[in-house]
């Protein structure tokens, strides 16, 4: 078996070095494959070599490809996603996790649509029903014909709120310092909504906001801004920030701050630093490397438009919208569904998982994953057992021991030692007491295979591996 370090996704796949030649890597390599996502996560440790070499690895290889090969084929692949180096008691972490690194940002915010507020002395007038601000000119916010264009939200001294739609303005003390108020947008019924300020008891206004009706509550966005140099090195990692009410200037400022702070995968101190008062005390260097399957990159891109189509077509389109992943073997599923990105954009990986979870019109369950060549596969969950558990070993139908590196999840396994193997009346193969669906497969070097079964159970299988596999 070999573990190859290849150039990053944005470059070619040429090999840089064989990590299997590093003893600490051979001793610690572990990787997981999931029925929801495919190649999911892996990890290894680099230790007991020169600190300068460990530093060089940490500085250079974030985002590089890691490829496991056995029997002349690729059995797992992913990218170096996070590295934590420990030097003299201090941990430093670099990561491609979107919450800590994103080089393309958009900020969505609720438009409060506030166009004006209190000026001087405020009063509720009862005859006719009007609102007065002695320092205001309401003519800019009045409506004379048709539905009201503005409404007023008033806060009272007793903690209540009164609001109404605005009609015509008029003069009491100063030009246009009062405005007619209505309960409905069509201006058919004079009066207030929520607390009636005329009373009894009469209420006293302390502040107000004039709001434009057509813009009230709408979700706006700043549009995307990006760091092209970072994208060229690391690929595009999108991030959407969601705000409550904000101005366009404030939202744009937040977007700029995110790019300044997170636009490059910086080295950040993490964990608890340990120091010594002694002179010239140094500790060895170790590097923990976490590898993510390419399914992780489906969460780097957002879908901003909602689409209605059959599930198979939706998943194909979502996969092809990703920067690094493309649609591979996609099982046809004619069930009509929706890929919903309103009112907020959604990460493509989340949308795919939602569609997979829906199954099909016949009640069949499905599974998906990103496998060799960054191809996304989507298929129905199996209905017949592929492998069998016999004497703590995983074997095929002929009784041959299965090579652990080649086992994928999303399979049915049967135990030949279970007390019963009967199919319940009206049931299916998966309903047999001796049968289980495998949700995750974990392989740990040199030859340990762990199967996680639906429901959370885990089976560790002892493998008799022929010479040459590892």
**Which residue ranges make up each domain of the chain?**
2-95+266-292, 105-111+219-262, 114-212, 297-380, 385-439
DSSP 190: B
**Residue position matching structure tokens 């690094």:** 324
Both tokens of 157, joined, read: 């001294």
pLDDT, residue 316, reads 97
Q: Which tens digits make up the pLDDT trace of 430-465?
A: 777 888 899 999 999 988 889 998 865 566 665 443
Sign of CA dihedral 403, 408, 411, 413: positive
Per-residue pLDDT of the chain (470 residues; tens, 9 = 90+): 899 999 998 886 678 899 999 999 999 999 999 999 999 999 999 999 999 999 999 999 999 999 999 989 999 999 999 999 998 878 999 999 999 999 999 999 887 677 888 889 999 999 889 999 999 999 999 999 999 999 999 999 998 899 999 999 998 888 899 999 999 999 999 999 999 999 889 999 999 989 888 877 677 899 999 999 999 999 999 999 998 877 888 999 999 999 999 999 988 887 655 555 554 445 578 999 999 999 999 999 999 889 999 999 999 999 999 999 999 999 999 999 999 888 889 999 999 999 999 999 999 999 999 999 999 999 999 988 899 988 778 899 888 988 899 999 999 998 877 666 677 776 777 777 888 899 999 999 988 889 998 865 566 665 443 333 33
Sign of CA dihedral 8, 14, 57, 52: negative
Sign of CA dihedral 253, 254, 255, 256: positive
- Distance (Å) of CA 176 to CA 173, 211, 278, 464: 8, 18, 78, 91
pLDDT, residue 265, reads 94
Backbone angles phi, psi at 130, to 5 degrees: -145, 170
pLDDT, residue 467, reads 32
Q: Closest by alpha carbon to 87, among 289, 281, 290, 265?
A: 281
Q: Answer for the pair 432, 383: CB distance below 8 angstroms, yes or no.
A: no
Q: Give the C-alpha separation, 371 to 457, whole Å.
A: 25
Q: Answer for the pair 237, 98: CB distance below 8 angstroms, yes or no.
A: yes
pLDDT, residue 217, reads 65
Q: Give the C-alpha separation, 236 to 329, whole Å.
A: 25
Category of 63 on φ-ψ map: left (φ > 0), alpha (ψ -120 to 50) or beta: left
Q: Give the C-alpha separation, 403 to 277, whole Å.
A: 52
SS3 content of the chain, % helix, strand, coil (to 5): 15, 40, 40
Q: Give the CATH class of 297-380.
A: alpha beta
Count of C-beta atoms within a 10 Å radius of residue 320: 12
Provide the CA 247 distance to its chain's centre, in angstroms. Answer: 26
- Distance (Å) of CA 9 to CA 19, 106, 299, 326, 327: 18, 24, 15, 13, 17
How much is the pTM?
A: 0.79
pLDDT, residue 458, reads 64
Alpha-carbon dihedral of residues 448, 453, 459, 463, nearest 10 degrees? -40
């Amino acid at each position: 078996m070999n573990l190859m370090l290849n150039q990053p996704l944005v470059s070619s796949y040429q090999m840089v070095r064989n990590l299997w030649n590093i003893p600490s890597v051979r001793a610690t390599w572990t990787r997981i494959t999931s029925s929801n996502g495919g190649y999911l996560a892996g990890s290894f440790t680099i230790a007991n070599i020169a600190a300068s070499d460990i530093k060089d690895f940490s500085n250079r290889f974030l985002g590089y490809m890691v490829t496991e090969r056995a029997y002349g084929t690729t059995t797992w692949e992913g990218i170096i996603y996070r590295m934590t180096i420990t030097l003299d008691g201090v941990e430093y972490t670099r990561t491609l996790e979107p919450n800590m690194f994103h080089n393309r940002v958009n900020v969505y915010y609720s438009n409060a649509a506030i166009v004006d507020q209190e000026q001087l002395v405020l009063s509720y007038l009862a005859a006719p029903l009007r609102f007065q601000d002695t320092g205001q000119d309401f003519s800019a916010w009045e409506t004379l014909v048709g539905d009201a264009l503005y409404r007023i939200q008033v806060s009272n001294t007793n903690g209540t709120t009164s609001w109404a739609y605005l009609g015509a303005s008029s003069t009491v003390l100063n030009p246009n310092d009062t405005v007619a108020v209505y309960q409905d947008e069509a201006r058919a019924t004079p009066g207030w909504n929520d607390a009636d300020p005329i009373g009894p008891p009469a209420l006293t206004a302390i502040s107000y906001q004039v709001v434009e009706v057509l813009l009230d509550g709408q979700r706006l966005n700043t549009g995307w801004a990006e760091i092209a140099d970072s994208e060229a090195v690391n690929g595009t990692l999108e991030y959407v920030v969601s705000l409550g009410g904000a101005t366009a200037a404030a939202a744009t400022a937040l977007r700029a701050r995110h790019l300044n702070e997170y636009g490059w995968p910086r080295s950040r101190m993490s964990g608890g630093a340990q120091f010594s008062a002694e002179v010239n005390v140094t500790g060895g260097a170790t590097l923990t490397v976490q590898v993510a399957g390419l399914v992780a990159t489906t969460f780097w891109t957002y879908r901003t438009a909602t689409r209605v189509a059959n599930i198979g077509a939706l998943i194909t389109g979502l996969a092809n919208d990703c920067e690094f992943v493309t649609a591979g073997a996609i099982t046809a599923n004619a069930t009509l569904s929706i890929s919903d990105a309103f009112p907020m954009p959604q990460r493509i990986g989340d949308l795919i998982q939602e569609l997979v979870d829906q199954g099909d019109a016949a009640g069949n369950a499905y599974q998906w994953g990103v496998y060799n060549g960054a191809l996304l596969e989507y298929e129905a969950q199996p209905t017949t057992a592929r492998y069998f558990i016999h004497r703590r070993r995983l074997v095929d139908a002929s009784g041959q021991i299965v090579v652990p590196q080649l086992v994928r999840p999303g399979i049915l396994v049967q135990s030949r030692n279970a007390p019963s193997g009967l199919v319940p009346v009206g049931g299916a193969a998966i309903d047999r007491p001796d049968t289980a669906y495998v949700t995750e497969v974990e392989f740990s070097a040199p030859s340990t295979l762990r199967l996680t079964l639906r429901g959370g159970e885990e089976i560790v299988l002892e493998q008799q591996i022929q010479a040459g596999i590892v």
